[in-house]
Amino acid sequence: MKKYQASIKIMLKSGILDVQGKTVENSLHSIGFNSMKNVRIGKFVQLEIDASTSEQANELVKSACEKLIANPIIEDYEIQIEEIN
């Protein structure tokens, strides 16, 4: 078995109201950062996984995202896999 590190970026799907992002955007405007807009807040998850190949690691992480880590109804996610020692 090889060891891999998975990095998962999770964001609300476009069209889903990002209340946190809107709050941060309004706060930025109130302190003078008026050029900043369309603020979106997401999540970043990093984990290690033992797998035979990077493809197997990716499939395992994808399954975990679909079942627990992300909410596929309202969130999109991107997975990056890299082998570690």
pLDDT (0 to 100) of residue 20? 97
Contacts with 72 (C-beta within 8 Å, 6 or more apart), sequence order: 65, 66
Q: Given the DSSP bridges, would you call strands 43-51 and 75-84 parallel, antiparallel or unpaired?
A: unpaired
Is the overall model pTM greater than 0.75, yes or no? yes
Residues 44-54: tens digit of each pLDDT: 999 999 999 99
Token digits for 37?
A: 């807009």
pLDDT (0 to 100) of residue 71? 97
Residues 17-72: tens digit of each pLDDT: 999 999 999 999 999 999 999 999 999 999 999 999 999 999 999 999 999 999 99
Instruction: Name the helix (H) or strand (E) containing 82.
Output: strand 75-84
Cα separation, 26 vs 34, in Å, equals 9
Assess contact for 49 and 60: CB atoms under 8 A.
yes
CA 67 to chain centre: 15
